[in-house]
């Protein structure tokens, strides 16, 4: 009887401590890291959620694995790399996030050990809860190889003897893919759909900082340069229209919205950012997804 009496307070204390720890974890800011091949890739795939996370007090870092020094029709090299660096930092300022750019040449990115170690370092130093990157099937070799590099780093971030100069993570993050349109060898799967309807204008505000890309290079590659408005206000409206099309909801995404928002709220969603859960990191259940995406409603 005496032993049971003494044990009870200890059990109660353990329960209180566990509750306090869980409550603290729920309030602790999340660390989100997003990888792209070029300075604007992360912005296109996750600019909406980045600004939402930031507004909620969470930490977001974008990382471009190349300096983008070939992505323009008129300039290139160091001049372009410097311009794109400044554009990325301005986008980061507008969203309240951080933006790192690695010094690899545009169009020359390979899934080397050096690049893998650089990605492992970034993920560990950020103590990432969520890692987002492109899939490995894409039209651009830099995009594909970014996907491979991040994929190859996924397990290694918890291996102590890999890059032993940086402490390993004690938990594997959730790794996600950006939305894309490619069907071979397998189509993108919209596991998590996030409503950015009210946030799309804020996303465009950040994209607007990448003048060299959204108002010059990309319209030039698509033969649409002549249609870009000269007026600063009008061209941002033009970009918003483009992003509305890019962020639209299709029937498959609607099913994902129904799951996360309920059918009534999902029916009101016009624009989304969507992500696929990879098989290489932590496999979250629905409760964990809602914790990692606190902008989702509690159903």
Average pLDDT over residues 264-278: 98
pLDDT band at 278 (very low <50, low <70, confident <90, very high): very high
Q: At residue 21, does pLDDT exceed 90?
A: no
Question: What percent of the chain clears pLDDT 90, i.e. is strictly above it?
Answer: 90
pLDDT band at 26 (very low <50, low <70, confident <90, very high): low
pLDDT band at 4 (very low <50, low <70, confident <90, very high): very low
Q: Is 46 within 8 Å of 276 (Cβ atoms)?
A: no
Q: Is 249 within 8 Å of 174 (Cβ atoms)?
A: no
pLDDT band at 276 (very low <50, low <70, confident <90, very high): very high
178: DSSP letter: -
pLDDT tens digits, 28-68:
999 999 999 999 999 999 999 999 999 999 999 999 999 99
Strands 174-177 and 192-195: unpaired
Query: What would the two tokens of residue 130 be?
Result: 């969520």
Q: At residue 13, does pLDDT exceed 70?
A: no
pLDDT tens digits, 128-151:
999 999 999 999 999 999 999 999
pLDDT band at 25 (very low <50, low <70, confident <90, very high): low
pLDDT tens digits, 72-88:
999 999 999 999 999 99
Q: At residue 19, does pLDDT exceed 90?
A: no
Q: At residue 221, does pLDDT exceed 50?
A: yes
Q: Which of 274, 37, 283, 281 is nearest to 149 (CA)?
A: 37
Q: Indicate left, alpha or beta for 291 from its phi (over 0: left) and psi (-120 to 50: alpha).
A: alpha
Query: What would the two tokens of residue 192 be?
Result: 């998590």
Give the pLDDT confidence score for residue 27 in this predicted structure: 79
Q: At residue 12, does pLDDT exceed 50?
A: no
pLDDT tens digits, 89-132:
999 999 999 999 999 999 999 999 999 999 999 999 999 999 99
Give the pLDDT confidence score for residue 211 in this predicted structure: 98
199: DSSP letter: G
The whole-angstrom separation of Cα 172 and Cα 190 is 22
Q: At residue 165, does pLDDT exceed 70?
A: yes
In the chain, the domains with their CATH numbers are: 29-193+273-292 (3.40.50.10320)
Rg, the chain, Cα only: 21
Average pLDDT, the chain: 92
Give the pLDDT confidence score for residue 8 in this predicted structure: 38
The whole-angstrom separation of Cα 8 and Cα 288 is 31
Q: At residue 18, does pLDDT exceed 80?
A: no
Q: At residue 284, does pLDDT exceed 70?
A: yes
């Amino acid at each position: 009887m005496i032993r049971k009496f003494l044990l009870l307070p200890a059990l109660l204390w353990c329960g209180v401590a566990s509750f306090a720890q869980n409550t603290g974890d729920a309030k602790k800011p999340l660390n989100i890291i997003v990888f792209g091949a070029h300075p604007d890739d992360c912005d296109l795939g996750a600019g909406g959620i980045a600004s939402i996370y930031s507004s909620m007090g969470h930490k977001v870092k974008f990382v471009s694995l190349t300096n983008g020094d070939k992505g323009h029709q008129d300039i290139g090299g160091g001049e372009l790399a410097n311009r794109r660096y400044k554009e990325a930092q301005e986008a980061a300022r507008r969203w309240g996030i951080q933006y790192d750019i690695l010094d690899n040449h545009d169009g020359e990115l390979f899934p080397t050990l050096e690049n893998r170690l650089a990605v492992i370092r970034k993920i560990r130093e950020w103590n990432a809860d969520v890692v987002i990157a492109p899939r490995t099937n894409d039209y651009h070799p830099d995009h594909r190889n970014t996907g491979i590099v991040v994929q190859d780093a996924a397990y290694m971030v918890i291996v102590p003897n890999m890059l032993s100069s940086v402490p390993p993570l004690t938990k594997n993050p959730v790794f996600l893919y950006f939305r894309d349109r490619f069907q071979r060898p397998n189509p993108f799967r919209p596991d998590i759909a996030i409503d950015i309807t009210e946030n799309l204008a804020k996303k465009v505000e950040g994209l607007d900082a990448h003048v060299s890309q959204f108002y010059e290079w990309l319209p030039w590659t698509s033969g649409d340069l002549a249609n870009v408005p000269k007026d600063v206000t009008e061209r941002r409206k033009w970009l918003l229209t483009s992003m509305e099309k890019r962020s639209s909801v299709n029937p498959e995404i609607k099913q994902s919205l129904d799951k996360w928002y309920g059918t009534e709220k999902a029916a009101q969603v016009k624009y989304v950012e969507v992500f696929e859960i990879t098989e290489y990191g932590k496999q979250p259940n629905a409760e964990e997804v809602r914790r990692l995406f606190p902008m989702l409603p509690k159903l």
